[in-house]
Amino acid sequence: MVFKLIESAQARWRTVNAPHLAALVRADARFELGRPAERPEEAAA
Domain assignment of residue 28, given as a range: 18-45
Does some domain include residue 24? yes
What is the tally of structural domains in the chain? 1
Q: What is the pLDDT of residue 35?
A: 83
Q: What is the pLDDT of residue 43?
A: 56
Residue type, 45: A
The DSSP secondary structure of the chain, one letter per residue, reads: -HHHHHHHHHTT----S-GGGHHHHHTT-EEETTEEE--HHHHH-
pTM, to two decimals? 0.42
- For the chain, the maximum distance between any two Cα atoms, rounded to a whole number of angstroms, is 54
Does some domain include residue 37? yes
Residue 14 exposed, middle or buried by CB count within 10 Å (0-12, 13-18, 19+) = exposed
Q: Per-residue pLDDT tens for 12-40? A: 877 778 888 888 888 888 888 878 888 66
Q: What is the pLDDT of residue 22?
A: 85
